[in-house]
Amino acid sequence: MTDNRGYGGSHLLIAFVTGAAAGAVVAYMTAPRSGKETREALQSWAQEARNKAGRLPHAMGQAVERATKAGKDAFAESYRGNSNHPES
């Protein structure tokens, strides 16, 4: 028998983010800088990442809201027979 449970998009996204983070750390650690400069750069990068991560839940909530409204509007329009599709 074959196992057809493959990986979904979320697994791919997690793998991509993990790989990008690992690559960034390696790049920072191997860059030709002094230890102090490297630490400052890492702290700056980490602070920026925290700021972006803090904004993510709000942005995702807004995106879900807009997508939900667009889906409802499209359904209602289609249900009323106002579809702009050439097949109609």
31-71 confidence digits (pLDDT tens): 787 878 878 888 898 899 888 888 888 888 899 999 999 99
Please give the Cα distance from 51 to 54 (Å, whole number).
5
Domain residue ranges of the chain, discontinuous segments joined by +? 9-80
Please give the Cα distance from 19 to 26 (Å, whole number).
11
Q: Which residues contact 15 (CB under 8 A, 6 or more apart)?
A: none
Q: φ and ψ at 4, to 5 degrees?
A: -105, 25
- In sequence order, which ranges of the chain are alpha helices (DSSP H)? 9-30, 35-80
pLDDT exceeds cutoff 50 at 88: no
